[in-house]
Amino acid sequence: MKRFAALVLALSLLDPLLPPFLPLSWGNVEAVSWEPEPWPGLDAERTEEPASLAPQMVPGLVAQRIHNTNTNIDARFLTVSGSKELNDSTLKLIWEAVSLQEEASGVNYMPQAHARGAGLNDRGCQEGETTRSQKEIRTADGTSVVCDIVFARGAILGQRLRVLQIVDGSVTKDHAVTLYTDTEENKNYLASEIWQESAYSYVWDSLLEVLKRDEGALSLSLTTGTPDVEVLQNVLENTVIGEDNELIVTFAAGTKTPELASLGIEEIDDSVSISLPESSVANLLTDFGHTLLDTAANDVPLGLANFTWPGNAYVDCKLLPCLAMTYDDGPSQLTPGILDAYAEYEGSATFFVLGSLVESHSDVLLRAHEEGHVIANHSWSHEDLTSLKPERVASEINQTNTAVFDVIGVVPNSFRPPYGAVNEKVLEIAKMPAILWDVDTNDWQKPAEGELINRVVDDAKVGSIVLQHDIHQNTANTVWEVLEILRGRGFTLVNVEQLFGGEVPQSGLYRRAD
């Protein structure tokens, strides 16, 4: 049988015009009744490299952007709102790129914000970015991370991230990986986790087979090889699901292995994509692989499970340039408009409220809390706490805590003393950290709106805490433009808990985060 197959192959190489299946009566070969054994590789077909999906933003999907000229790294990526675990794989990959670039540049990474007009409102993935040529992604020294959406069905997002590093004009890293985030199961998967290990030989042999057919060879003799695990790992890490629920794997241009060389292929000129029908790979998939295919088949548009507001999401302020906007002396009838702006700009803020106003504005307080903003304590009646007797200080703080708890069910865990007036005694009685500010916009002076905007956006630095008041009309009027400009400078707008790494410190006095 072997000899027969070898003969057929030899003939086919001599004459590519031979019909694809030789008549079984051909010649005087003993194996006339031979039929090709069913071999799964026959189902593999060469296909187009799948296009990425148009960027689509759904509630809970957060577009990120890093532009860092010190360490020389740019990154675009998507996170999903929610737990830290849900974005672990993505953030790990970004941090790996950062570390790599720190080594190359010799400059430690620090989140960086930029001058007005830096254009960093444009965040997240750009369609087709991960399949562009190296030169289209980056030409200068440094590292770029770009992303594409490759899967957006049901509760699962598939994102391909490509890291390209150039050192001294030469490409030192160019690696893409596709991550699937199942927001229902609250888990991340590398695309290679679609496959069981037993799939390796199958996918590898399919490549050899497809390439052989490309060379004009007949396929009655099926190639079986020994997978080049390193090559294959990279390939499987970028598995995507095609329109007909087939699995598509792509071998990059330049792929070369001794095995391909023995087929007469020194290296692949252009990338080679192979489609593998679901039916022939079903027993090679993991549970997640089946979940992904089922999700694809259901054809329900992307809708992330467990949506959380930005203020409730994990934000890595060591990676992103965070800034905390704070609003004092409310809540007021102006607060809802400010909340609208934060919802639009995917940001979170902190509201230091007066206990005496809480009950009459309980609706807006509850809304602010439910939309992920932090509600903190600004005393009951806005007295200078350092001038009050200890019992009075305690009641100013505690009454406010109680009033807030009665509305939102959470006790404030930080306070801002009125006028910023605080001493050891007040801190001791409050039993909470005092959060002051490093950028005072003096909005109570009622400056012209343009002037007020300048005060906020020009003085804000990474880690800053900005003081405004949600009781002044000009503050409410300018918040939209302020947030637009701050995001354009690259800032991520966070509340004070996020600013301090997820929770405020236990005690002490803070003007900014360092």
Q: Which residues are identified as catalytic? A: 328, 469
Preceding peptide of 331 cis, ω within 30°: yes
Residue with the closest Cβ to Ni ion? 328
Total residues contacting Ni ion by CB under 5 A comes to: 3
State in angstroms the smallest separation of the CB of 420 from Ni ion: 9
What is the longest distance spanned by two Cα atoms in the chain?
112
Identify which of residues 345 and 351 has a Cβ nearer to Ni ion in the complex: 351
Provide DSSP, 371-428.
TTPEEEE--SS---GGGS-HHHHHHHHHHHHHHHHHHHS-----B--GGG---HHHHH
Q: What is the secondary structure of 441-507 as a DSSP string? A: --GGG---HHHHHHHHHHH--TTBEEEEETT-HHHHHHHHHHHHHHHHTT-EEE-HHHHTTTS--SS
Tell me the closest approach of the beta carbon of residue 113 to Ni ion, in angstroms: 27
**What does the alpha-carbon distance between residue 244 and residue 452 come to, in Å, rounded to a whole number?**
55
Contact indicator for 79, 303 with CB cutoff of 8 Å: no
Rounded Cα distance, 150 and 160, in Å: 7
Q: For residues 52 and 248, what is the distance between their CA atoms, to the nearest angstrom?
A: 13
Closest approach, Cβ 328 to Ni ion, in A, equals: 4
For tokens 């109570």, the residue is: 444
Q: Residues 55 to 114: which contact Ni ion by CB under 5 A?
A: none
Task: Choose one: 6-14, 31-39, 327-335, 396-404; the region binding Ni ion (CB under 5 A).
Answer: 327-335
Among 228, 278, 329, 470, binds Ni ion (CB under 5 A): 329
List binders of Ni ion among 381-420 (CB under 5 A): 418
* Shortest distance in whole angstroms from residue 391 CB to Ni ion: 22
| Both structure tokens of 192 | 């290679």
Return all residues near 157 (Cβ < 8 A) that are at least 6 apart: 61, 78, 80, 149, 151, 180, 181, 183, 302, 304
Among the listed ranges 89-97, 227-235, 248-256, 329-337, the one in contact with Ni ion (CB under 5 A) is: 329-337
Q: Contact, 195 vs 229, CB < 8 A?
A: no
Q: Choose between 326 and 464: whose C-beta lies nearer to Ni ion.
A: 326
| Token pair recorded at residue 338 | 């400010």
Nearer CB in complex with Ni ion: 272/354: 354
Question: What's the CA gap between 386 and 219, in Å, rounded?
Answer: 88
> Under the criterion CB under 5 A, does residue 443 sit at the interface with Ni ion?
no
Of 384 and 484, which CB lies nearer to Ni ion in the complex structure?
384
Which amino acid would we find at residue 306?
Answer: N
Is the Cβ of residue 13 or residue 436 nearer to Ni ion in the bound state?
Answer: 436
- Asked if residue 328 binds Ni ion (CB under 5 A), the reply is yes
Q: Which is nearer to Ni ion, 121 or 395 (CB)?
A: 395
Residue 450 CB, shortest distance to Ni ion, in Å, is 24
Stretch that binds Ni ion, among 55-63, 70-78, 267-275, 324-332 (CB under 5 A): 324-332
- Output the smallest distance, CB 162 to Ni ion, in A: 48
Strand-pair category, 142-153 with 73-80: parallel
Give how far Cα 411 sits from Cα of 219, 399, 432, Å. 72, 11, 11
Binding mask 18-57 for Ni ion (x = CB under 5 A): ----------------------------------------
Q: Phi, psi at residue 9, to the nearest 5°?
A: -65, -45
Helix-, strand-, coil-residue percentages of the chain, each rounded to 5: 35, 20, 40
Query: Which one, of 406, 395, 397, lies nearest residue 358 by Cα?
Result: 406
Q: Helices (DSSP H) in 15-115: which residue ranges? A: 88-105
Q: What's the min distance (Å) between Cβ of 379 and Ni ion?
A: 8
- Asked if residue 347 lies in contact with residue 310, where contact means CB atoms within 8 angstroms, the answer is yes
When the beta carbons of 319 and 357 are compared against Ni ion, the nearer one is 357
Which amino acid is residue 234, in one-letter code?
A: N
Q: Rounded to the nearest whole angstrom, what is the least distance from the CB of residue 311 to Ni ion in the complex? A: 21
Residue given tokens 């189902």 in the structure block = 43
C-beta closer to Ni ion: residue 67 or 472 = 472
| Nearer to Ni ion among residue 98 and residue 471 (C-beta) | 471
> Minimum CB separation from Ni ion for residue 341, in Å?
21
| Contact residues: Ni ion, CB under 5 A | 328-329, 418
